[in-house]
Structure 1
Amino acid sequence: MQTDQGGLRARNKAERRSRILAATRELLRDGPESVISTERIAERAEVAPATVYNLIGPRDKIWEALAAGFMDELEHRLAEPGAGGPREVVEATVQLFVGDPVVSRRMVREWAASGLVFDRSPLTQLRQAMADARTQGLLRADIDTDALAAVVGASCLGALHQWVAALIDDDRFLARALFALDVALAAAAADPHRDQLLAPLRRRGAVRGDAASGDAVRGDAV
């Protein structure tokens, strides 16, 4: 009986925490630049303000909890069969950000302002994906896959902050993240897979070449 009661309490706690985070996301979508307070979240979630503080914590912890939920969803998506390669990690991460842009942009801005860092990061999944690619023989055996993942991650982070600042759109965000990945994979490719890993860069070059030719014909070349 005690075990059943403990399980019920845990489920109730998880349900209330989920409602609190859902309410926070709703408030952000209602007013992207509005102040998010414990009282407003509690009212929207239909719980007491003390419950928000006890289950989540102060305001900085709210952003931490939102980021944890982001990572939970990313890990869930990457757990699907065949979804754990380097390209899938980058694509899934970008898609999560752009799938809820108001919340994502505010979360990143507030996180930077708080001076905190993500407790869990997509870089963990990218490191593992790179290591797996080396084990599979796609990448050279002498490659430091952690360093390779860090280089790609830094480029993706730069693209993320440009997207958060609305300097680039969703498509450009994804394109820049994948370009950084493709360059890294091509540079580290094992000989039997070099053409395979160079193919995305060659396709990109061909598309740009066609576009440039078209611009020249129209007199639009810069």
Structure 2
Amino acid sequence: MQTEREQTAEGGLREQHKARRRFRILDATRELLRESPGSVISTERIAERAEVSPATVYNLIGPREKIWEALADGFMDELEDRLAELGAGDPREVVRSTVQLFVGDPVVSRRMVRGWEESGLVLDRSPLVQLRRAMAEARTCGLLRADVDTDALAAVVSTSCVGALHRWVAALIDDDEFLANALFALDVALAAAAADPHRDQLLAPLRARGAV
């Protein structure tokens, strides 16, 4: 009969095996998307590339909708790692890093956003959390007015960034315009919430664009 420690170790090993197979499945999905951007990626093709059974794909990820969601989670995990390395407390760096993540793997990110029915929520996790923190830090430092609701401000910027993301996915704007649109939304929000001593500083990016 197994001891409690042995059962715990066995359970931990099972979870590690599941995590490795899940990683292989998502990596295989990305590879297939990059190889055949316009094709339908079936569970069977993903399973074959990942060297697992179709049932394993379904059990560890779920149906196709969940595959897109899992890819989005992977994007956000990578973004969290990038921002942690940067120690990003600057709202502009949060927005810039988010855009760079999507344009850095355009085939996968475009298919993910098109395929995921809830893609409007794609920025609700990591970048929004990081942006809230950065906005709150800007208020604490006195850059923004003390009466500003920084969570609401971050949510407005995030909504604008999602809109820019969808325009980029639809090829209505290019990579540079995607970044410019996202930063413009942030700069407008920061300028509107600027504390008096820093108003000129936060208006400067808009003045440089000729927006004010």
- TM-score with structure 2 length normalisation? 0.89
Equivalence for 2:159:
154
Question: Is the contact between residue 88 and residue 134 of structure 2 (CA under 8 Å) also seen in structure 1?
Answer: no
Instruction: Give yes or no for the alignment of 1:120 onto 2:125.
Output: yes
Shift of 1:5: 2.6
Identity over the aligned pairs, expressed in percent?
Answer: 80
Q: CA deviation at 1:125?
A: 2.3
| Contact kept in structure 1, 2:165 and 2:178, CA below 8 Å | yes
Correspondence for 1:82? 87
Deviation at residue 85 of structure 1 after TM alignment? 2.1
Q: Is 2:38 the counterpart of 1:33?
A: yes
Return the alpha-carbon distance in structure 1 between the equivalents of residues 58 and 160 of structure 2. Answer: 36
Tell me by how many angstroms 1:186 deviates. 1.2
CA-atom RMSD in angstroms: 1.9
How many Å separate the matches in 1 of 2:205 and 2:180? 11
8 Å contact kept, 1:84–1:129: yes
Q: CA deviation at 1:135?
A: 1.6
Mapped to 2, the partners of 1:87 and 1:18 lie a distance apart of 31
Q: Distance in 1 between matches of 2:172 and 2:184?
A: 17
Match of 1:181 in 2: 186
CA deviation string 1:22-58 (max 9, x = no partner):
0001111111121121111000001111111111111
Contact persistence 1:42–1:52 (CA under 8 A): yes
**Cα distance change on mapping 1:57 and 1:116 into 2, 3 Å:** farther
The answer for the alignment partner of 1:58 in structure 2 is 63
Q: Specify the code of the residue in structure 2 equivalent to 1:70.
A: F
* SS of equivalent to 1:125: helix
Q: Displacement, 1:116?
A: 7.9
- Contact 2:91–2:135 (Cα < 8 Å) also in 1: yes
Cα distance, 1:13 vs structure 2: 1.2
Q: Which stretches in structure 2 are left out of the alignment for 5+ residues?
A: 1-5
* Paired residue total: 205
1:168-191 per-residue CA deviation (whole Å, 9 max, x = no partner) reads 110110011101111111111112
Aligned counterpart for 1:70 among listed residues 52, 56, 75: 75
In the alignment, what sits opposite 1:216? none
Q: Quick one: distance in 1 between partners of 2:160 and 2:200?
A: 23
**AA paired with 2:92?**
R
CA contact (8 A) 1:111 1:117 kept: no
Match of 2:115 among 110, 113, 123: 110
Assess, with a 3 A threshold, how the Cα gap between structure 1 residues 18 and 115 changes in structure 2: closer, same or farther: closer
Moved more, 27-36 or 173-182: 27-36
In the TM superposition, residue 97 of structure 1 has moved relative to its aligned partner by 0.6
Give the 3-state SS of the residue equivalent to 1:6 in structure 2: helix
CA distance in 2 between partners of 1:68 and 1:202 (Å): 37
Structure 1: tracts of 5 or more residues without a match: 209-222
C-alpha displacement of 1:80: 2.2
